[in-house]
Structure 1
Amino acid sequence: MFPYLFKIGAFELRIYSLMYLIGILITIYFVKKKGQKLGFHPELIENIIIVTFIGAIIGARIYYVVLKWDFYSRYPKEIIAIWHGGLAIHGGIIGGILAAYFYCKKKGVKLLQFGDMLLPFLLLSQGIGRFGNFANGEAHGVPTITPPSIIFRMKNVFPEFWQQVLNSFGLKNTPEEVSKLMDFIKEKGVLTVKFHDKIYQLKEYVPWGISFPPKYNPPAYQDFGTLPVHPTFFYEMILNFIGAFILLLLWKDDKNMGKGVIAGLYLIFYGVIRGVVTFFRADDLMIGYFRAPHLASFTMIVIGLIIVLRGYRNGVE
């Protein structure tokens, strides 16, 4: 909605970048303090965090490019153009874990101990970062006029449903044309659409949708014009903050460091959070007819449960 704080020539101080910078600085400060308390050199902890962050960026980009290969195979120069967008959080988690694993192994640090120190702040940083998505008008949800019975399906039928909506009212898939749907609803109260031999109502199902104006031409406007959309960035922000608060309560007790329970709970918490929020997302990556985040989140939850159970067997207090 307002992607940068200020712009001087070609330089932009983007809110998205600023949010993640704040998250990284908070993480480094608190994890270094915890590391010192547990006997680690501050420089070692700082280096592990930086290596993990770099690995996360690389992993996030590779994951996104692979699942969008139909586009990047045609425009290979765009593969390295991360300033044009295209980072996937699940790829970032995979890349970060791999980078941390190899660096920790080299330095003789237990990966789960580092994970227990870091991951509450990663979840906190992810929450902070979602404000950057709001500023960019991205990572947005489907229009609030979408029936819940369309949203809550494991198979993603929304794109097909939305095309049927546009066809039913003779609208082109442009922001200006799509924006007319809200005017139709204001005139008639409720619109009906036939989809897969069933009748669905189009109306404002929730009152807290956010409408993005054409200024800056954000992705949400490109997709749905000025229709109010589910603020999925705020859904995830709130849930991430709640999850981070719970993890930080455990993080405060040094006895919980190194057992892996905090790391496992992070995987479970974020797997559940993203799994829920994904139902509302309009721009998620796909694997066939299914949302890639659902498959990745399920894997995270299973791995997290295994780690937590092992941690409790090792005597977490």
Structure 2
Amino acid sequence: MKQKLALNPIAWQTGPFKIHWYGVIIAIGVVLALWLAVREGRRRGISEDDFYDYLLWALPIAIICARIYYVIFQWPYYRVHPEEIIAIWDGGIAIYGAILGGFVVMIVFCRHRLINVWTMLDVVAPAVILAQGIGRWGNFMNQEAFGKITTRAALQAQHLPTWVIEQMKIEGAYRVPTFLYESLWDISGFILLVLLRHRPRFFKQGEVFLAYIGWYAAGRFFIEGMRTDSLMLGPIRISQLLSAILFVGAIITAVWRRLNWYINNQKR
């Protein structure tokens, strides 16, 4: 029986010029996130131009930070292959690097434009987690972000489409589709945030963002533990460590801000 081929990671090619599905999928996620943020921004009194201007700064910096983050923790390889450091079209960008880069740019941008940082973070958080969920399919096309070796029968038992199952055959063995688990987790987080963010007195300012951080970090911590291609620092999975820090930090920040709000209202 002839073995089915994995999906082609190249979306379009003419001569030496190639467009990778990885980049196409990431671009779709970014465009959709921008559209959603602009719509929500109108409700919060934030100009549409502010989102476009922010993206012009944040997108390239986030991509650079995502690549730097990845290269740092894969330095033994890139030290020998320095010419591949800029080859982001083959994958190898870390979402945590992008989040940290985008966050720093947002703080600077909002202060410059006199926009409340917490409000801006609340607006973009649901859009960002949706873009992350979409972006994981770029990893799927590149056969990245996978888990341990499994069997075809185990994948079929999860009722996965054949084309997903065949794409998870990597280096001669079927792999657990951890990219899919994270994508579904992210999209579920997006749905919850969108359904809850406008409920009266449910979220206070900044808590949509903190809920996003907590939700994403919790899921990433457990899913990262299933992966076999994690970025490592000795025996420690970097993304697991950072997820634990962010999860605890989000909870502490939310509790601290609620207590301050309560104390301030009691004094009035």
Q: TM-score range by the shorter chain?
A: 0.7 to 0.9
Q: Which of 209, 217, 220 matches 1:274?
A: 220
Alignment gaps of 5+ in structure 1: 146-181, 183-202, 214-219
Q: Who is 1:190 aligned against?
A: none
Is the contact between residue 133 and residue 233 of structure 1 (CA under 8 Å) also seen in structure 2?
yes
Q: Would you tell me which structure has more helix in proportion to its own residues?
A: 2
2: CA distance, partners of 1:129 / 1:226: 25
Matched, 1:34 2:36: no
The 5 Å alignment of 1:40-119 reads 40-119=46-125
Alignment gaps of 5+ in structure 2: 1-6, 263-268
Is the contact between residue 247 and residue 266 of structure 1 (CA under 8 Å) also seen in structure 2?
yes
Is the contact between residue 112 and residue 258 of structure 1 (CA under 8 Å) also seen in structure 2?
no
Matched, 1:251 2:229: no
Q: Which of 284, 291, 307 matches 2:253?
A: 307
Q: Which of 178, 187, 193 matches 1:232?
A: 178
Q: Who is 2:266 aligned against?
A: none
Identity of aligned residues (%): 30
1: CA distance, partners of 2:254 / 2:59: 24
The 5 Å alignment of 1:136-215 reads 136-144=142-150, 207-208=157-158, 210-212=165-167
| Residue type of the alignment partner of 1:80 | I
| Residue type of the alignment partner of 2:253 | I
2: CA distance, partners of 1:254 / 1:51: 34
User: How much does 1:82 deviate?
Assistant: 2.1
Q: Which of 244, 251, 264 matches 2:210?
A: 264
Larger Rg: 1
User: How much does 1:73 deviate?
Assistant: 2.4
User: How much does 1:121 deviate?
Assistant: 1.0
2: CA distance, partners of 1:30 / 1:141: 32
Please say which of residues 292-301 and 252-261 is displaced more in the overlay. 252-261
Is the contact between residue 22 and residue 89 of structure 2 (CA under 8 Å) also seen in structure 1?
no
| Residue type of the alignment partner of 1:127 | G
Describe the SS at the equivalent of 1:109. Answer: coil
Change (3 A) 1:53 1:251: farther
Is the contact between residue 116 and residue 258 of structure 1 (CA under 8 Å) also seen in structure 2?
no
Describe the SS at the equivalent of 1:73. Answer: helix
Describe the SS at the equivalent of 1:132. Answer: helix
User: How much does 1:12 deviate?
Assistant: 3.0
Is the contact between residue 22 and residue 91 of structure 2 (CA under 8 Å) also seen in structure 1?
no
2: CA distance, partners of 1:112 / 1:121: 15
Q: Normalization by structure 1: what TM-score?
A: 0.71
Please say which of residues 9-18 and 57-66 is displaced more in the overlay. 9-18
Change (3 A) 1:22 1:84: closer
Change (3 A) 1:17 1:253: farther
Describe the SS at the equivalent of 1:13. Answer: strand
User: How much does 1:144 deviate?
Assistant: 1.5
User: How much does 1:312 deviate?
Assistant: 3.4
Please say which of residues 240-249 and 251-260 is displaced more in the overlay. 251-260
Task: Give the root-mean-square deviation of aligned CA atoms.
Answer: 2.6
User: How much does 1:251 deviate?
Assistant: 3.2
Is the contact between residue 124 and residue 240 of structure 1 (CA under 8 Å) also seen in structure 2?
yes
Instruction: Give aligned pairs, total.
Output: 250
User: How much does 1:58 deviate?
Assistant: 1.6
1: CA distance, partners of 2:102 / 2:122: 14
User: How much does 1:254 deviate?
Assistant: 8.6
Matched, 1:131 2:126: no
Q: Deviations over 1:236-295 (max 9, x none)?
A: 111111111111123345977871101111111111111111121111100111111111
Change (3 A) 1:45 1:207: same
Change (3 A) 1:227 1:19: same
User: How much does 1:53 deviate?
Assistant: 2.3
Is the contact between residue 231 and residue 239 of structure 2 (CA under 8 Å) also seen in structure 1?
yes
User: How much does 1:302 deviate?
Assistant: 1.6
Describe the SS at the equivalent of 2:125. Answer: helix
2: CA distance, partners of 1:254 / 1:136: 43
| Residue type of the alignment partner of 2:85 | I
Is the contact between residue 91 and residue 142 of structure 2 (CA under 8 Å) also seen in structure 1?
no
